[in-house]
Amino acid sequence: MTSTPHPHTWVKSSYSDPDGSNCVAWAPAHASAYGVVPVRDSERTDGPVLTVSPQAFAGLVTFARSGGL
């Protein structure tokens, strides 16, 4: 994890709460180019960035779809 902001194009997850809390963003173009997925709190644009493997990100998405969040 790093606290340095990245110049990625961030996309807010469709699984983020509609009321604006618990918002997660990821950078799909970076993931495609480098094979790692940057993830962050979309409300803290200058906050830390977690970088995970595509497999780990897929696991997070599966977990979110299951209602586990």
22 vs 33: which has the higher pLDDT: 33
Question: Which pLDDT value is given to residue 3?
Answer: 46
Q: Specify whether the CB–CB gap between 23 and 41 falls below 8 A.
A: yes
User: pLDDT, tens digit, for every residue of 38-56?
Assistant: 999 988 888 999 999 999 9
Q: Model's pTM, two decimal places?
A: 0.74
Question: Which pLDDT value is given to residue 57?
Answer: 93
Neighbours of 31 (CB within 10 A): 19
| Averaged pLDDT of the chain | 82
End-to-end CA, the chain: 21
Question: Which pLDDT value is given to residue 15?
Answer: 60
